[in-house]
Amino acid sequence: MIDIENKETEKAILVGVSKGLNTRRVTEEHLEELELLADTAGAETVIKFFQDRDSYDPAYFIGKGKAEEILEYAKENNINLVIFDDDLNPTQLRNLEKLFERKILDRSALILDIFASHAKTKEAKTQVELAQLQYMLPRLTRAWTHLSKQLGGIGTKGPGETQIETDRRIIRTRISKLKDTLKKIEAQHVTKSAGRQDLINVSLVGYTNAGKSTLLNQLTGADVLAEDKLFATLDSTTRSFDLDKNKKVLLSDTVGFIRKLPPHLVASFKTTLNVVREADLILHIIDVSNEFYEEHTAVVDATLKSLGCETKPQIKVFNNIDLLEDKQKLEFISQHYKDCVFISSMRGFGINSLIEKISDFYEMNYIVHTIHLKQTQGKLISAIYELADILESIYEEDSIVIKYRTSKERHNRTISMRQN
């Protein structure tokens, strides 16, 4: 597994390339974010190198001359870690490792390492390990040896196999086992979520460090850890709160998104991200005080599309308005994002307006209904108990009166069953 965790802080060089429409300022901002990622992983950034290119070099990603310039600086300053802001293909990684004889990481490797250090539950640890192994498999080089000792595969080496071939086989076997484990975890999620289908499910999504956990705490009174660092939240957290006495909401916070998020990481976190797929309403939290909030918004929208959630009802919630120096920006945003909400999750500004928006959605999509049925209509009664939140049941001599709350779609299914 990729591991840059050390008791002592490692010194790092960051490398970014401006290509195509990316201006130097955009690349600088990307490297500022990479520096935050490196800091989160425990590395200290010493210097950032930039290069303007029309296309990436197929052998070294950057030109060999630039690579040799960076190597010279690394030698002079005793730096053993070089981090690239984009993904390196296996050939580029191999060539750079051979040239530098130092640790080379790309953005995906760095993010995976952070996820590994922040994973606390069995589910998160399994998802991260799967993503790491899928990343590692095509990139096995001389640095990846003795995996049989790491993964307990002693005695698995077949006749005539090289060490790397053995390692690949061990990794594929481990990947298969991890996928089976995640299938079992997903089945448990389905069982748990079945008991929640009668309530309105609201999911918080957003760019990492946009303030989702702080908002969860504001709305539900929870004490979920809300740290000012990237990927503080990996596991989904669900809490309930009442819009009023007859309107209950389940609010879920999950892992934050980020630009250039490794695709295999999104795929591995399928079970965690199911709370987004199952949501009735998505609250897209946006840090409006960030200079690049529009790009961050686009990244989250693209990730939602990759999850098949682009058509779900969504409220864009612009957070940290108290940190915004140019208040005229709010008027511009209002014109471009209809029905958006402005808040400060830290100070509580605008929370009531957000609750009203959620309540309006509830009113449009959920109803409370009372139905009078004969006790012989057991199939229909069972269906109502399965599809709705039962508020009250009154048994009479040969009948039952059920007061329930459910979505209009599920209510229509109930009415259809009664008519058939």
Residue carrying the six token digits 């790092």:
12
Domain boundaries, the chain: 10-113, 120-193, 195-363, 366-419
Q: How many CA atoms lie within 13 A of 260 on its CB side?
A: 17
DSSP classification of residue 88: P
Contact at 8 Å (CB) between 98 and 64? Answer: no
283: enclosing H helix or E strand: strand 281-287
372: enclosing H helix or E strand: strand 366-374
Angle of helix 107-118 relative to helix 24-41, nearest 10 degrees? 30
DSSP of 288-299, one letter per residue?
A: TTSTTHHHHHHH
Q: Kindly report the three-state secondary structure assignment for every residue of 112-138.
A: HHHHHHHCCCHHHHHHHHHHHHHHHHH
Q: Tens digits of per-residue pLDDT, 369-393?
A: 899 999 888 888 888 888 777 888 9
C-alpha to C-alpha distance for 218 and 166, rounded to whole angstroms:
52
Q: Residue 131: which residues within 8 A CB-CB, separation 6 or more?
A: 112, 115, 262, 264, 265, 267, 268, 269
Q: Residue 102: which residues within 8 A CB-CB, separation 6 or more?
A: 74, 79, 80, 81, 82
Q: What integer pLDDT is reported at residue 118 of this predicted model? A: 79
Q: 35 is written with which tokens?
A: 């520096």
pLDDT digit string (tens) for the chain, length 420 residues: 344 444 468 999 999 999 876 678 888 989 999 999 999 888 999 999 999 999 999 999 999 999 999 999 999 999 999 999 999 999 999 999 999 999 999 999 998 888 888 787 888 888 889 988 988 888 876 444 444 444 433 233 334 456 777 788 888 999 999 999 988 887 775 544 444 455 788 999 999 889 998 999 999 987 766 665 566 666 678 898 888 766 788 899 888 888 888 777 777 676 678 889 889 899 999 999 998 999 999 999 999 998 889 999 999 999 999 999 888 899 999 999 988 999 999 999 999 999 999 999 888 887 788 999 998 888 888 888 887 778 889 988 889 999 887 777 777 777 777 776
Q: What is the CATH number of domain 195-363?
A: 3.40.50.300
Please tell me if the domain spanning 10-113 has the same topology as the one spanning 195-363.
yes
Q: 15 in helix, strand or coil?
A: strand
- Helix residue ranges, H only, 366-407: 378-387
Query: Whole-angstrom distance between the N-terminal and C-terminal Cα of the chain?
Result: 58
Instruction: Count the Cβ atoms, other than its own, within 10 Å of residue 149.
Output: 9
Q: How many CA atoms lie within 13 A of 356 on its CB side?
A: 9
Our measurement of the distance from residue 80's CA atom to the centroid of its chain's CA atoms, rounded to an integer in Å, reads 30
Contact at 8 Å (CB) between 337 and 329? Answer: no
CATH architecture of 10-113: 3-Layer(aba) Sandwich (3.40)
Buried b (16+ CB within 10 A) or exposed e, 291-319: ebbeebbebbbebbeebebeebebbbbbb
C-alpha to C-alpha distance for 378 and 60, rounded to whole angstroms:
70
75 dihedral zone (left: phi>0; alpha: psi -120 to 50; beta): alpha
Q: Tens digits of per-residue pLDDT, 108-156?
A: 999 888 888 878 788 888 888 998 898 888 887 644 444 444 443 323 3
C-alpha to C-alpha distance for 396 and 175, rounded to whole angstroms:
57
What is Dmax (Cα atoms) for the chain? 91
Q: How many CA atoms lie within 13 A of 99 on its CB side?
A: 23
Residue carrying the six token digits 């250039």:
260
